[in-house]
Chains A and B, each alone.
Chain A
Amino acid sequence: MTSRTVEYTLGTPGLDEQGRVTDVPLGVGLKNTQEYRLPGQFDESFGAEHMLVNIGPQHPATHGVLRLVIELEGETVIRVIPHIGYLHSGFEKLGEYRQYNQIIPLTDRTDYLSPMANNVGLALAVEKLMDLQITERCQVLRVLACEMSRIISHLVWLGTTGIDLGAFTPFLWSFQERERIYNLQEAWTGARLTTSVTRVGGMMADVPTGWSAGLRDFCRTFPSTLKEIDTMFTRNAIWIGRTQGVGVLSGEEAINRSLSGPMLRASGVDYDVRKDRPYLGYETYDFDVPIGEHGDIYDRYRIRLEEMWQSTRILEQALDRLDKLEGAPLNVDDPRVILPPKSRAMSDMEAMIFHFKQVMEGVKPPVGEAYMGIENPKGELGYYFVSDGTAKPVRWRIRPPAFINLSALPRMCEGALLSDVIAINASVDIVMGEVDR
């Protein structure tokens, strides 16, 4: 390796002589091209200069506070170094100081584009730890929560990716539709983003009267927007040119890199947690899982688009079931996890004791550990709990799908053009709240 121009490059000022911060320097160092050159790409005489381009942490195309440092030869990417951690909040540590139900608000803030699905995942993990069987109505409501989240998360992805590649209009369409789900979410939980809709053994609240009519209305009209987006993108020459054959990962590699969700399925791997390890009775719903073929950005787009259709199908089926279960119990009948009704707590001694114990001590799972994975919009979201029998977990681990999917970014960008990096990064569908936790 040739000698590195360390002193020179670092000497490129970050501070001036008075110690004030000057411009952000773009270091240009001499490198041994032999080592970094991709095979057969450039003639030796082309030059030995590599350029560094820094994107982020504050940049609209990095979808949050992600920083990418890109080493370029000409316009070809030699390597990409992602720097993460700018949004680290220590959720896993905080969880060790919280009771199980108090962790639910933390999950809202990890993948904040699909808060309700995260709430569901957490409740399911604790229920697995306690071996609780939730009621049928609760299952149906949780399916609604998961699929609504999938639609809004994919809509954000679609809109922002469109913007990254120069299409502004679909962004407006998708955000308009997303707004309607947010309104429903607000009517149900009182919050648009920090929903905290589940509780261990049940739900925070049932849906209000007339709510399902609103969701039915959404399911009826949403497909027309999907069709418009489909018309706009799927056969669009610019869209195809920017996405087909870009950021390709083979199925084998996708498995080896632990990818999940649309990223894995776009590479042709038929794996969806809803189908393969069903939870919430997903095996009883009629829906299809789209599988890609080429593992490029275009296939990821097709899969997310199709998943929104399929989610609409699931929502319709779940709404039918919800109507049939009108008046059925919502929460499990287990005083260990669910508060007795206030009227009973005020009149019945036993109910009052249970009320007191739960408020003061919280839910206490037995000693043990459980891993529960659910199919979130970004991929497989796993919650791993270790309990020592007290009301607070010993360890709460989030298996973050966006974090693991993002780790494949350097591989996907190798040899691509600089402008492709933006498209590839968008196709991963990251949420920094979850990547950094």
Chain B
Amino acid sequence: MTSLSPSAAALRHAFGDAVERSLVSCRDTIVYVRRDRVHDALAWLKTTPEQTFDYLTDVTAVEYRDPERPLEVVWQLRSLARRADLRVKVALDKSAPLEVPTVCDLWKGADWLERETYDMFGVVFTGHPDLRRIIMWETYAEGYPLRKDFPLRGHFSRAEQTRQALAANPEAHYSLDELSIAEAFHELPKDMRERLRRGERGFLK
């Protein structure tokens, strides 16, 4: 059993109660931070000279099999200069909306990683510039695949999945405005917004 990374103590010193607990698992230090301070804590870890966690290795989430346990959002940080790692976590109560602040303003690399976490777990990263599904398609309606209440084969029946796949009209995704829907969604005419919400694409009558 190796000891805690000194960054954990420094973080507790700087943020006090906002650091809920820290532990070591398999030689990695894990720090739990309160949700409302996590952005500050990550920014502090990135910019403080003794810490310089300048490299965001990964962003992901973990949901446990025990339904009572909170869902955790995980940031893997690394300091390239000091060759040190730190794992920061936020525990989210599943009965409340799953929201954490984005870190896209600190690390541009967080963009796709946060989108993937949103896509797979439904965690909303508030302030993310373009939070859309990334691996599943935009109109995917079965939920969030990596959640534990999501069956391995999906919520819909095989027949329904096939029907939806055949009804999709991928050729209709090729227009300029279709591509910028994420940023222009609110400017679209109301009936079109409705159609897009229903997942309809393509030919207009």
A residues contacting B by CB (< 8 A) are: 1, 4-7, 9-15, 19, 21, 24-29, 31, 50, 52, 54, 69, 71, 81, 84-85, 88, 90, 92-94, 97, 128-129, 131, 253, 255-259, 269, 271, 276-277, 368-371, 373, 380, 382, 384, 386, 388, 394-395, 397, 399, 403-404, 406-408, 411, 436-437
Contact = CB atoms under 8 A, between A and B. Distances in A.
B99 interface: no
Which of A131, A386, A403, A407 has its CB near the most chain B CB atoms (within 10 A)? Answer: A407
User: When A and B form their complex, which 3 residue pairs have the shortest distance between CB atoms, in order from nearest?
Assistant: A258-B109, A27-B175, A370-B26
A382 B57 contact: yes
A15 B26 contact: no
A52 B175 contact: yes
A128 B202 contact: no
Nearest to B116: A403
Contacts of A397: 58, 60, 62
B171 A368 contact: no
B136 interface: yes
Contact of B202 (A5, A15, A259, A403): A15
A394 B58 contact: no
Interface string B37-81: 000000000000000001111101011111000000010100010
A394 B188 contact: no
A85 B175 CA distance: 19
B7 to A, nearest CB: 16
Binding site of A, secondary structure by majority: helix, strand, loop or mixed? mixed
A29 B176 contact: yes
Interface stretch (B13-21, B90-98, B157-165, B177-185): B177-185
Given A258-B57, A271-B80, A85 B176 contact: no
Contacts of B57: 258, 371, 373, 380, 382, 399
Contacts of B55: 255, 258
B107 interface: yes
Contacts of B110: 258
B6 interface: no
Contacts of A395: 60, 62-63
A5 B180 CA distance: 12
B110 to A, nearest CB: 8
B46 to A, nearest CB: 10
B62 A85 contact: no
Nearest to A97: B152
Interface residues of B, number: 57
B172 interface: yes
Contacts of A388: 64-66
Contacts, number: 170
Contacts of A384: 58, 60, 74, 76
Contacts of A128: 26-27
Given A21-B169, A271-B80, A386-B62, A256 B108 contact: yes
Nearest to B61: A395
Contact of B135 (A24, A88, A368): A88
A19 B66 CA distance: 49
B177 A5 contact: yes
Nearest to A67: B173
A371 B108 contact: no
Interface in B100-142: 107-113, 116, 120, 134-137
19 contacts: A4-B187, A6-B188, A10-B175, A10-B178, A10-B192, A14-B203, A15-B202, A19-B203, A27-B176, A88-B136, A255-B54, A258-B113, A269-B80, A368-B26, A371-B58, A384-B58, A386-B62, A394-B64, A399-B58
A71 to B, nearest CB: 7
B3 interface: no
B83 A15 contact: no
B73 to A, nearest CB: 12
B204 interface: yes
A88 B64 CA distance: 23
B203 A394 contact: no
B169 A276 contact: no
Contact of A371 (B65, B87, B112, B171): B87
